[in-house]
């Protein structure tokens, strides 16, 4: 995967991710499904100028959904939980 812009899809700003940020200093991102932990670290360094000490990833499964008579599934996606070096923060999560 050569394009660094496609690795970090978006920050996940939810009630649960805000609690993780306040309690443990963890930032949660939606990332490209084929991105590796090293690629995520490099992308964070390039775009935000921060050093990640820990990157944990997980594949999020498809969910069955129904809208009226139509049934389907959501797309699978990948989530990354990132812990930064002490003293570093990301302004996207702070408000």
CA distance 31 to 40: 8
Query: What's residue 67's pLDDT?
Result: 93
This prediction has a pTM of 0.86
| Tens-digit pLDDT string for the chain (95 aa) | 657 789 999 999 999 998 999 899 999 999 999 999 999 999 999 999 999 999 999 999 999 999 999 999 999 999 999 999 998 888 877 66
Contacts of 80 (CB under 8 A, 6+ apart): 28, 29, 30, 31, 35, 37, 40, 55, 56, 57
The answer regarding whether domain 4-84 maps to CATH 3.30.70.330 reads yes
Sketch the domain layout of the chain as residue ranges: 4-84
């Amino acid at each position: 995967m050569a394009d660094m812009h496609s690795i970090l899809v978006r920050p996940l700003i939810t009630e649960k991710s805000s609690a993780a940020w306040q309690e443990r200093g963890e930032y949660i991102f939606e990332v490209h499904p084929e991105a590796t932990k090293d690629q995520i670290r490099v992308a964070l360094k390039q775009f935000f100028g921060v050093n990640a000490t820990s990157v944990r990833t997980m594949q999020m499964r498809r969910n069955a959904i129904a809208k009226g008579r139509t049934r389907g599934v959501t797309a699978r996606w990948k989530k990354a939980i990132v812990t930064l070096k002490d003293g570093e923060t990301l302004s996207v999560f702070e408000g």
